[in-house]
Structure formats: C-alpha cells, structure tokens
Amino acid sequence: MNALRIHNHGEPEVLVAESVPDPVPGPGEVLVQVRACALNRLDLALRAGFPTLKMELPRILGADIAGELAESGERVLVAPGAGCGLCHFCLAGRDNECARYQVFGYQRDGGYAELVAVPRRCLLPFPAGLDFAEAASMPLVFVTAWNMLVRRAQVRPGQTVLVWAAASGVGIAAIQVAKLWGCRVLATARKEQLELALKLGADAAIDHYDPGLPVSQAVKQLAPAGVDVVIEHVGQASWDQSLRSLAPNGVLVTCGATTGYEARVDLRFLFSRQLRLKGSYMGRRADLDDVLAAVAAGRLRPVVDRVFPLAQGAEAHRYLAAQHPFGKVVLATSGNR
C-alpha cells in the first residue's frame, strides 16, 4: 500500500511517501480502507518531536480516520484511540484513562495510508449526510471537547464559557458542544476569523491578538464577574489570561500546550478565588455515540477548511502550521466522497 511515514523527527519534509506492506490485522482487529484522515496539532508535534516524546519509528501518523471496511465495503468512522479493553478503567467505560491507551498515529500506525488495522471496538457508524472528509474531521476534536466540557467541567445550562482559538478543531467543537448544553460562549480568534466564530454559534468573539485589549479585560467587559469555564488548549501564551478570566469558583480545563508547557500560577489567586484547574485527555469511546447522535440531529457539525491529496502531506502540515485555517485540514485518498 501507499503511505506517508516518518523515519525521524523534523520539518514537514520528513513525511516520506513510500510503498509499505499492507497491515495485518491482529486478533479482534479489522482492516479499514482509508478514504480520509484529518490532521491535528498532535500530528505536527509528533512529526517535529519534543524532549519527552517516546515513539517508535518509522510511524504512520493520523488519528482521525474515515473509510470502508476492507471485508465488506461498509462505510465506517474510527475512534481515534483505544484502551486495552480488559483493565478496570476500560471495563468501567473510562477507556481514555487506561494505562495502555493507544492513539492512532502515535502509539500505533494511523491513517496517513491506504489501509489501517484497527480494533473492531473502535468502529463507529458512518454519519449520514457527510462525505469522508467531513466525517474524518470529527472524532478526536469532538470527543476531546465533550470530555473537557461535559466530563471534566460538568457544564450546566446558563453558564458562560470562554473558548480559546475558535478556528482550531478543538475550538470549533467546543463552541458547538457548549451551545448544545445551553451555555453562553465567548470565543477568541484572529481578527479576520471573528465573524466566522459568530456564525458557528459563539455569542461574542474576542480578538486574542489585540495589543490594546487583553483577553481577560475583553471578557470582563462581556461578563463582569468572569466566566464559569475556560476551555484552554493553547498553553503558555494564553495561560495567565485564562486564569484572569475566571469567575470565583470557576474551572479551567486544559488539553494541550501548543505554545509551550510551562505555566505559572499565583497560589494566592488560586485559593482565594477557589478556582479549579483540570486536565483532560482525549475522551471516552462511549461519548462518541452521543456526539454522533447530536450530529445526526443536526446539532453538531464538522467544519472542513481544505482537503489535500495523501501525497501532499508535507504541504498539508505546512498549511496547518502557518496558514491559520478555520476548520480541519484533511488528507484524502481516491474516492473520498
């Protein structure tokens, strides 16, 4: 089969298009013919490498996979990660807490290829009315946003939620999930993307690059007491403003560190305002069923910015890193409709 693999970490050029042996499904696994695979910021980090990264090479990246079962041609969507299926976390439905949890494209080969072997329990019904690129744009970011808001923050109707980077995959998903749960949403974005954030459902949009108006000050103009929840996935560059935007007893949930992983907290501010800081990693397989039900009801929708052919993976990585798309960037094989 044709695939993109990395043999070492570095710039986008380390993505090598090559012919590799077809994957052989193990016990309980099936072979999926990949039609589309969405990119995530995780892909850029895994490709570039970072000091604590432990990853077997060569590796085929890509966690968000839509395609067809090789055995039957049935359209399927693939959950972006899998627990062992046997530990007490998995048996309790908390598979994203499993010590042996594997993300496609990270701990095992992913979807930058024509074929991928996946555990049968990772198969999801294909959403009606979507093409392969749209379907591939959903699993990782929507289950991540669902876990952050529903599981970790335990959002309630009427709360105010601040979502950073509305144009990103997690941002787009978080805006929609928060609105689904009856929340007021303040979203940040680049100036040229503010109107798109509002069209997506945000109640107000804030230019997070405005040098004259820090995000926390803009938030206080819109919500004088502060926000109940901050959805944080930017990292070091936004951390201080995120904390300053919280109302007393507010909760900050973080799932990423795109701009750096060193964050400082004034403990006096933390305990005097009784704030809560929570981490969030991926999401539960079962929650994807709720996500897909909301998609079927027309209450959640994927947003695709651009589709690249599989062979243009390096260009797709450069575009995601530098062009600031609004929505998902997708790699597609032939027959992606």
pLDDT of residue 52: 87
Per-residue confidence band for 324, with pLDDT thresholds at 50, 70 and 90:
confident
CA angle 272/275/281 to nearest 5° reads 155
pLDDT of residue 257: 87
| Domains 2-138+302-332 and 142-279 belong to one CATH topology | yes
What global pTM score does this model have?
A: 0.95
Q: Contact at 8 Å (CB) between 110 and 82?
A: no
Cα–Cα separations (whole angstroms), residue 131 to 90, 117, 301: 31, 21, 12
Position 334 pLDDT exceeds 80: no
- For residue 214, give every residue at least 6 positions away whose Cβ sits within 8 Å of its Cβ, in sequence order, or none: 241, 244
pLDDT of residue 51: 86
**Domain range summary for the chain, segments of one domain joined by +:** 2-138+302-332, 142-279
CA 25 – CA 10 distance, rounded (Å): 30
CA 104 – CA 293 distance, rounded (Å): 23
Buried residues in 200-236 as b, exposed as e (16+ CB within 10 A): bbbbbbbbbeeeeebbbebbbeebeebbbbbbbbbbe
One-letter amino acid at 247 equals A
Phi and psi dihedrals of 120, rounded to 5?
-60, -30
Per-residue confidence band for 337, with pLDDT thresholds at 50, 70 and 90:
very low
pLDDT tens-digit readout, 173-187: 999 999 999 999 999
Give the CATH number of domain 142-279; options: 1.10.1520.10, 3.90.180.10, 3.40.718.10, 3.30.930.10.
3.90.180.10
257 vs 174, residue with greater confidence:
174
Position 335 pLDDT exceeds 60: no
Overall average pLDDT of the 24-38 stretch: 97
pLDDT of residue 29: 97
Per-residue confidence band for 261, with pLDDT thresholds at 50, 70 and 90:
confident
CA 176 – CA 267 distance, rounded (Å): 32
Position 336 pLDDT exceeds 80: no
pLDDT tens-digit readout, 96-134: 999 999 999 999 999 999 999 999 999 999 999 999 999
User: How many percent of the chain have pLDDT more than 70?
Assistant: 99
CA 207 – CA 116 distance, rounded (Å): 40
As a CATH number, domain 2-138+302-332 is: 3.90.180.10
Position 190 pLDDT exceeds 50: yes
Position 250 pLDDT exceeds 50: yes
